[in-house]
Amino acid sequence: MAKIAASRIRDRMVVTSQGHEVGLLFDLVADEKTGKLVALVIEPTTEEMRELLLTDREGLVLVPFTALRAIRDFIVVDAKRVPRKVKKVGMFARKERPAG
């Protein structure tokens, strides 16, 4: 993967590999000890996404950095790795409890 400055991708649209808009990249989280990036911090752009995705107290979504698939005009993440409030279990859905 080519190198790119974090400041150049801030506020870039984040979409899933299926093409669904998640929101705008707000920040990146790095491990202080290793310096490795561990998460993308995304600000959902629609009320629908805020309702669907698991958010923190500020309404931001933390997506594991391992979900990153591509950075182009937009950022592509693996939809299966985006944390949701509701998980499908067979034909049924169950609500996730927020961490913390």
Domain coordinates of the chain in residue numbers?
6-95
Closest CA to 12 of 83, 76, 78: 76
Q: Name the 3-class secondary structure at 79.
A: helix
What pLDDT was estimated at residue 97?
55
Residues 100, 77: Cα–Cα separation, whole Å:
24
**68 or 99: which carries more pLDDT confidence?**
68
In tens, the pLDDT along 39-96 reads 999 999 999 998 889 899 999 999 999 999 999 999 999 999 999 887 655 554 555 5
The stretch 9-37 carries a mean pLDDT of 95
Residues 73, 58: Cα–Cα separation, whole Å:
26
CATH architecture of the domain 6-95 equals Roll (2.30)
In 42-77, which positions are buried (b, 16+ CB within 10 angstroms) versus exposed (e)? bbbeeeebbebbbbeeeebbbbbbebbeebeebbbb
The stretch 22-51 carries a mean pLDDT of 95
